[in-house]
């Protein structure tokens, strides 16, 4: 928590106020590294770190030591018990090599927050360790889902998107039908990644179309509304908000904000220079930034203008289309509240299949014996539909499907979600 926003007591008051409105509050905790500025721990507690193992931020933290583990576990318990946060989002746990530390943290949190209180422990983990989601952790951010959707929406194939552009339709189907795409398969570097995930609940996966990393780490911080076809983006938004995975929204996306979210910092002196040049050097591998002159146009992370340019503009006159985006998000969230959330307990994946290029059919078994069915076409042309809908009720489609010619095909840029209650108990 940033001290400039207020005191510890004011943070507690904020959480109490949120609870009064029926809202939970999570805290994003970084237990895998310390920052490059203002960190003097290594000066007086060298043994806190292991010098045989290095990270992008310096020597790795030595979680083999009892006192180091206790430092972080007590930190977690402080936020949960003293401040009454409802959950923690653990940053980049793939950078913590000692998996048993994570298991101990989850076990201690469960034991010391009390049996009558449920605390959410959410992971960011590039390794797709599905087994952690059976050992005390609530859910994981699903980068696989984001990456394949982003690739199909934008056509981008460089960097880590190269792992998703080949056989993208099959990968889309696997994500919707099993959670993770990489469940032990090799990535572009030939390295196996992930563990089987189809047995997990869909609510063990946090789905997003945008977040601070995915937008902020782009050279110019562009949002999806500026990069993709509007109909296809609306279809992806239906998936985000009406699938049984847990949706995460990035500030301003519900408004269709077009202001960028740039990479900004508040460093000074040599560190500021190093961050600026390092930031521009990150893009040297990309074709469009091959020359130094182009890279020099990447905004300076330490410039006040970079920060100011990243503020979403919520004034009604800023851009056309804002009210339409807001209405879409409100409608979908109302449907989710009424139809999806009550049926989440016991939900499970129930298969998926490709319908055509960038088009899939996915189903989930929901509570009380109902079935949720998604027909999704992110491609540029209509695709045929073959599987019958039976007695399913249309919950929402971003396109009008009442025209009889759409009875056996799904138009481009369309998502339609149906609920079959014929077997509900």
pLDDT digits (tens, 9 = 90+) for 5-38: 999 999 999 999 999 999 999 999 999 998 777 7
Least-confidence region, from 39-48, 140-149, 239-248, 249-258? 39-48
Q: Reduced to 3 states, what is the DSSP secondary structure of residue 255?
A: helix
Q: Reduced to 3 states, what is the DSSP secondary structure of residue 383?
A: strand
Query: Within a domain: residue 259?
Result: yes
> Rounded to whole angstroms, how far apart are CA atoms 407 and 409?
6
Q: Rounded mean pLDDT of 46-64?
A: 88
> Rounded to whole angstroms, how far apart are CA atoms 199 and 307?
43
Q: Rounded mean pLDDT of 222-247?
A: 97
Query: Within a domain: residue 316?
Result: yes
Q: Rounded mean pLDDT of 89-114?
A: 95
> Rounded to whole angstroms, how far apart are CA atoms 241 and 339?
11
Q: At 252, list the tokens.
A: 């301003």
Q: Rounded mean pLDDT of 149-177?
A: 96
> Rounded to whole angstroms, how far apart are CA atoms 298 and 286?
13
Q: Give the catalytic positions in this structure.
A: 91, 124
| pLDDT recorded at residue 34 | 87
- Flag whether pLDDT at 315 surpasses 90: no
Q: Rounded mean pLDDT of 213-236?
A: 95
In percent, the amount of the chain with pLDDT more than 70 equals 98
Please say whether the beta carbons of 55 and 32 come within 8 A.
Answer: yes
> Rounded to whole angstroms, how far apart are CA atoms 140 and 155?
26
- Provide the mean pLDDT of the chain: 93
| pLDDT recorded at residue 404 | 63
Residue 361: pLDDT band (50, 70, 90) is very high
Query: Within a domain: residue 394?
Result: no
In percent, the amount of the chain with pLDDT more than 90 equals 77
Query: Within a domain: residue 364?
Result: no
- Flag whether pLDDT at 319 surpasses 80: no
- Flag whether pLDDT at 416 surpasses 90: yes
- Flag whether pLDDT at 59 surpasses 90: no
Q: Rounded mean pLDDT of 80-90?
A: 98
Residue 210: pLDDT band (50, 70, 90) is very high
Opening angle at CA 283, ends 282 and 288, nearest 5? 175
Beta pairing, strands 371-377 & 348-356:
unpaired
| Structural domain of 294 | 3-346
> Rounded to whole angstroms, how far apart are CA atoms 103 and 121?
11
- Flag whether pLDDT at 331 surpasses 80: yes
| CATH number assigned to the domain comprising residue 105 | 3.20.20.80
Q: At 222, list the tokens.
A: 């562009």
Please say whether the beta carbons of 252 and 319 come within 8 A.
Answer: no
Q: Rounded mean pLDDT of 45-54?
A: 90
Residue 44: pLDDT band (50, 70, 90) is very high
Write down the H helix ranges in 98-229.
99-112, 143-154, 162-165, 168-178, 212-216
Residue 318: pLDDT band (50, 70, 90) is low
Residue 278: pLDDT band (50, 70, 90) is confident
Q: At 96, list the tokens.
A: 């913590």
| pLDDT recorded at residue 105 | 98
List the one residue out of 293, 310, 313 whose CA is nearest residue 301: 310
Query: Within a domain: residue 415?
Result: no
Whether the CA torsion 145, 148, 154, 158 is positive or negative: it is positive
pTM above 0.85, yes or no: yes
Q: Rounded mean pLDDT of 317-342?
A: 91
Q: Rounded mean pLDDT of 168-194?
A: 96
Query: Within a domain: residue 265?
Result: yes
| pLDDT recorded at residue 405 | 63
Whether the CA torsion 366, 367, 371, 373 is positive or negative: it is negative
Query: Within a domain: residue 108?
Result: yes
Is the pLDDT higher at 147 or at 275? 147
List the one residue out of 77, 176, 180 whose CA is nearest residue 131: 180
| pLDDT recorded at residue 288 | 78
Is the pLDDT higher at 25 or at 286? 25
Q: What is the dihedral of CA 5, 6, 12, 14, to 10 degrees?
A: -50
Beta pairing, strands 359-365 & 205-208:
unpaired
Query: Within a domain: residue 384?
Result: no
Longest dimension (CA), the chain: 74
List the one residue out of 347, 9, 382, 58 whose CA is nearest residue 203: 347
Q: Rounded mean pLDDT of 101-115?
A: 95
> Rounded to whole angstroms, how far apart are CA atoms 415 and 401?
10
| pLDDT recorded at residue 415 | 98
> How many distinct structural domains can be found in the chain?
1
């Amino acid at each position: 928590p940033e001290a400039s926003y207020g005191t510890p007591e004011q943070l507690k008051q904020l959480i109490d106020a949120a609870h009064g409105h029926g809202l939970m509050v999570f805290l994003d905790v970084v237990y895998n590294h310390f920052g490059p500025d203002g960190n003097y721990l290594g000066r007086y507690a060298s043994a806190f770190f292991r010098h045989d193992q290095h990270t992008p931020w310096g020597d790795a933290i030595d979680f083999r030591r009892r006192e180091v583990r206790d430092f972080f576990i007590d930190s977690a318990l402080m936020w949960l018990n003293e401040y009454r946060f409802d959950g923690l989002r653990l940053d980049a746990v793939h950078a913590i090599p000692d998996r048993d530390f994570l298991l101990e943290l989850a076990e201690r949190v469960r034991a010391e927050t009390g049996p009558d209180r449920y605390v959410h422990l959410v992971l960011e983990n590039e390794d797709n360790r599905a087994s952690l989601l059976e050992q005390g952790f609530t859910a994981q951010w699903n980068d696989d889902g984001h990456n394949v959707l982003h690739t199909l929406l934008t056509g981008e194939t460089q960097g880590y998107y190269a792992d998703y552009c080949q056989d993208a339709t099959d990968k889309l189907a696997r994500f919707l039908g099993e959670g993770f795409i990489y469940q032990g398969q090799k990535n572009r570097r030939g390295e196996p990644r992930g563990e089987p995930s189809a047995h997990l609940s869909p609510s063990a996966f946090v789905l997003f179309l945008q977040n601070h990393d995915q937008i902020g780490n782009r050279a110019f911080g562009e949002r999806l509304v500026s990069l993709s076809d509007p109909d296809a983006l609306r279809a992806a938004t239906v998936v985000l908000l009406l699938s049984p995975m847990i949706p995460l929204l990035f500030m301003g996306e519900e408004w269709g904000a077009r202001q960028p979210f740039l990479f900004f910092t508040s460093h000074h002196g040599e560190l500021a220079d190093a961050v600026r040049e390092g930031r521009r050097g990150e893009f040297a591998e990309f074709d469009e930034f091959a020359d130094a002159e182009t890279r020099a146009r990447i905004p300076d992370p330490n410039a006040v203008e970079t920060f100011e340019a990243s503020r979403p503009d919520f004034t009604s006159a800023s851009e056309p289309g804002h009210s339409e985006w807001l209405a879409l998000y409100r409608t979908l969230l109302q449907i989710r509240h009424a139809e999806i959330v009550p049926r989440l307990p016991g939900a499970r994946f129930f298969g998926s299949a490709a319908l055509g290029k960038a088009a899939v059919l996915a189903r989930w078994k929901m509570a009380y014996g109902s079935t949720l069915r998604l027909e999704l076409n992110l491609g540029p042309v209509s695709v045929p539909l073959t599987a019958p809908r039976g007695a399913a009720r249309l919950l929402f489609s971003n396109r009008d499907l009442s025209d009889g010619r759409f009875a056996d095909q799904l138009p481009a840029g369309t998502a339609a979600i149906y609920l079959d209650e014929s077997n509900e108990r």
